[in-house]
A and B are shown apart, each in its own frame.
Chain A
């Protein structure tokens, strides 16, 4: 029986069937569900690491010890893990090692759309790219075999559409993979310069052998068609090409590093016009052009954003390969009313809301970070100035203060619990060590919320559902050398504002832990807030909270009893006492 699996679930299944024993990762859309699925299988070990560098190092250790292992992360996570990745290419593996990078063309849920195919070339490690769930499951097995055969980690690159689309996949039985023996071999594993040089040469040799493999491998195959047009493509783009241009000859590349030069030349020789269809950068195109072939790609197909069949079709039309008609003309009437956008918002009752309302009210420079709380930067909350990468909030605030002390005086850094543990700790250490004066607010909702509520070292549970020691954030920041540490409830606006004021004046670094569980986790809601209409002036002050339960449509404030959780923030914002705690009307 076939099962409908997302690409991520198929990867998890493939890892299970092919004997992966250890998996480590850090959540990040669109990669998160790989480990969530994998952790449910019998006889394996899976964990959330605090960040991607740690995750990859765990996987390298497992491989060295002799088992098959995977590390999973989103594309920007590979930046964090790049240090071990670059040198793991030198050491090679014992048990098969696969690094899964989930890229996000179009930035559905990311801060950039970097093309991680470049990492394969950069690190000199083989790369496989599936184009759907069926391939995702099968190719994980091939990746593990390649890793062991060529003594090298493999980069397994997927994109959002492959990760989150479902297809029918035939399930198989898990193979038995005995633990390989670990033999001490410092020339392989101890990367001091002298041994590193040896492994560097070995890497060149391994890549040469891999190139020969790539030319022979069934991962790269030709779909015969009209010899007038030859299309070289990989990943999800392959599906769009087949959808809109069934007549074309296609060279489908499943292994995109090292690229199969001979196969490409053979394919190019058999077609009149050569095109490359690939999302993001001209990665394949540049290689093919360097080989001396006349080829077109980014001339017709965009270099930014996500593809779909219409985009690919448009490219073929622009290349003069098909008429512009054929796609149904969608109805786009001129008199169509403007459709308001539906931007994501902090949930009703979200503990982050009060923090950003207060920071905005205090007109501070807010050095922000990544998580659900980044939504606090959208109007009308508008309570964040910057967000670059995980952990950057604290170090950027430190830089601001060192550069322009007057600006530093009204700067705070805001960071989530999972993000702080991911890469905020070293930033805070920098502040303390270099006598900075940064004020940090850790918005501690007790979970990694943005990516769908994963556990982290501050939640007391592991990925596999076991109890875990709970990191004591207060003790941790004190141990780093922060003396001024306070813990408060972010639903108490007066206390929040007073504490921030106090910490801004103090002449040393401080940490405010704004602690309250994510409203989606702790579901015990208070009765909904009610409006006493004779007191409401329609001033709209409550709207500044950007709460999806509050509206001012007919001149007066209304609170939706279905979505209101009774967090009572709005009570504290209303100057006319028009909002009442649930259950108490006409007090």
Chain B
């Protein structure tokens, strides 16, 4: 891989974007790539938007992904999907969890949470997968595994073996949660394949 693979994970503090990026990085490292991961800690974590950038290639220089350069954007919340939509490169994919977490200005009734984000995204991005990851995770046995459902969808879009994903899950998730997360991953993976 000479041209870096750029994956942007966006969401709201506490949604598990960081674990997802760790699993992805593990897979990339296992495949022998150079990897850089970038995220900003601090002030934003108090309920603000969180962004994790993962780049992998034979040699990676910049740790950050530019606007219009992401192969895949995974949005753990749909408003964040809308915010970062432009980062998807032409021909790239946008995976969106159809969940709304209202920012305080919306809760306060000062601004409106945009209506029909999925409809809008679908009209602009050809390769958009939008679904309710929380619902699927709940069906798999634990709503906390929603982030791993999203990882499953991501896996279906990337050129790594299913086995390497399983190994990464085992390395990154505590043993007592691994079974439900494997089921969640599979559900996401199947959903991703069907969407393509």
A residues contacting B by CB (< 8 A) are 2, 4, 29-30, 33, 108-109, 132, 160-161, 164-168, 236, 239-240, 242-243, 308-310, 327-333, 336-347, 372, 375, 380, 450-452, 540, 543, 546, 548, 550-553
Whether B69 and A327, one on each chain, are in contact in the complex, defined by CB atoms closer than 8 angstroms, is: yes
Residues 19-48 of chain B, each 1 if its beta carbon lies under 8 Å from chain A, else 0? 000000100010000111111111111111
On chain B, the residues within 8 Å of A239 by CB distance are 61-63
Instruction: Name the distance in Å between A133's Cβ and chain B's nearest Cβ.
Output: 8
Q: Are B108 and A380 in contact (CB under 8 A)?
A: yes
Number of A-B contacts (CB under 8 A): 164
- Taking CB atoms, residues of chain A closer than 8 Å to B66 are 308-310, 327
Binds A, one of B81-89, B145-153, B155-163, B180-188: B81-89
> Is the beta-carbon distance between B40 and A160 smaller than 8 angstroms?
yes
Q: How far is the CB of A12 from chain B (nearest CB, A)?
A: 15
On whether the beta carbons of B25 and A4 are closer than 8 Å, the reply is yes
* Contact B35 A165, beta carbon cutoff 8 Å: no
Question: Complex formed: what's the CA distance from A337 to B111 in Å?
Answer: 12
A190 to B88, CA, bound (A): 61
- Contact indicator B64/A543 (Cβ below 8 Å): no
Instruction: Write out the residue numbers on chain A whose beta carbons fall within 8 Å of the beta carbon of B108.
Output: 380, 540, 543, 546, 551-552
Find out whether the CB atom of A310 lies under 8 angstroms from the CB atom of B37.
Answer: no
Question: What are 21 A-B residue pairs whose CB atoms fall within 8 Å in the complex?
Answer: A29-B43, A164-B38, A164-B41, A167-B60, A239-B61, A243-B62, A327-B69, A328-B89, A331-B86, A337-B114, A338-B114, A339-B82, A340-B105, A340-B111, A340-B112, A341-B105, A342-B103, A343-B105, A344-B47, A540-B109, A551-B107
The reply to whether A452 and B41 form a contact with Cβ atoms under 8 Å apart is yes
Most chain A CB within a 10 A radius of its CB, from B48, B104, B105, B117: B104
B134 to chain A, nearest CB (A): 11
Chain B residues near A (Cβ < 8 Å): 12, 25, 29, 34-49, 60-64, 66-69, 79-80, 82-83, 85-90, 102-109, 111-115, 117, 120, 124-125
> Which residues of chain B are within 8 angstroms of A2 by Cβ–Cβ distance?
29
B107, A240: Cβ atoms closer than 8 Å:
no
Q: A29-B42, A109-B44, A548-B107 are in contact. List 14 more A-B contacts (CB 8 A).
A: A4-B25, A30-B41, A33-B41, A108-B40, A329-B68, A330-B68, A331-B125, A336-B82, A336-B120, A337-B117, A338-B111, A339-B79, A340-B111, A347-B46
Give the CA-CA distance A30 to B39 in the complex, in Å: 11
Given contacts A342-B103, A345-B104, A328 and B69 within 8 Å (CB-CB): yes
For the complex formed, measure the closest distance between the CB of A418 and the CB atoms of chain B, giving whole angstroms. 15
Top 3 closest A-B pairs, CB basis? A109-B42, A330-B68, A328-B68
**Known A4-B35, A165-B36; contact A240-B46, beta-carbon cutoff 8 A:** no
Give Cα A142 to B90, complex, Å.
44
Chain A nearest CB from B96 CB (Å) reads 14
Interface SS majority for chain B:
mixed
Contact A167 B41 (CB under 8 A): no
Alpha-carbon distance A375/B46, docked complex (angstroms) = 9
* Cβ–Cβ < 8 Å partners of B44 in chain A: 108-109, 344
Partner of A548, one of B39, B87, B90, B104: B104
Contact of A341 with B42 in the complex, beta carbons under 8 Å: no
Residues of chain B with a CB closer than 8 A to A328's CB: 68-69, 89-90
- Taken together as a complex, chains A and B put the C-alpha atoms of A394 and B124 apart, in Å, by 53
Least CB separation from B115: chain A residue: A337
Of A4, A160, A236, which contacts B29 at CB under 8 A?
A: A4
Least CB distance from B162 to A in Å reads 22
Docked complex Cα distance between A240 and B55 (Å): 14
Q: Is the CB of B46 within 8 A of A342?
A: no
- From B60, B68, B120, A327 is in contact (CB under 8 Å) with B68
Cα-based distance from A361 to B109 in the complex (angstroms): 20
Smallest CB gap from A6: residue in B: B37
B29 close to A168 (CB less than 8 A) = yes
Residue of A nearest to B69 (CB): A328
Contact B64 A342 (CB under 8 A): no
Q: Closest chain B residue to A104 by CB distance?
A: B42
In the assembled complex, which residues on chain B have CB atoms less than 8 Å from the CB atom of A29? 41-43
Rounded to whole angstroms, the CA-CA distance of A561 and B24 in the bound complex is 33
**Hey, which chain B residues are within 8 Å of A342, CB to CB?**
12, 47-49, 79-80, 103
Q: Which of B39, B46, B87, B120 contacts A337 (CB 8 A)?
A: B120
Report whether A132 and B63 are in contact in the complex, using a CB–CB cutoff of 8 Å: yes
Q: B43: which of A338, A339, A344, A543 is its contact (CB, 8 Å)?
A: A344
CB of A496 to closest CB in B, whole Å: 22
- Specify which of B85, B106, B117 is in contact with A331 (CB 8 Å cutoff): B85
| Chain B hits for A236, CB < 8 A | 63
Q: Which residue of B lies closest to A380 (CB)?
A: B108
Query: Which residues of the partner chain A approach B35 to less than 8 Å between Cβ atoms?
Result: 4, 166-168
CA–CA, A330 to B92, complex, Å?
11
A242-B34 Cα distance, complex, nearest whole Å: 15
- In angstroms, Cα B110 to Cα A540, docked, is 11
The answer on a CB contact under 8 Å between B79 and A108 is no
Taken together as a complex, chains A and B put the C-alpha atoms of A471 and B49 apart, in Å, by 36
Q: Decide if A167 touches B36 in the complex (CB within 8 Å).
A: yes
Cα separation A375 to B104 with both chains bound (whole Å): 12
A536 to B109, CA, bound (A): 16
Whether B38 and A339, one on each chain, are in contact in the complex, defined by CB atoms closer than 8 angstroms, is no
A344 touches B46 (CB 8 A): yes
Nearest chain A CB to B69's CB is how many angstroms away?
A: 6
Task: Assess whether A551 is in contact with B40, with CB atoms less than 8 Å apart.
Answer: no
Set of chain A residues within 8 Å of B60, measured between Cβ atoms: 167
Query: Closest chain B residue to A33 by CB distance?
Result: B41
Contacts of B124 in A (CB 8 A): 331, 333
Verify B42–A347 contact, CB threshold 8 A: no
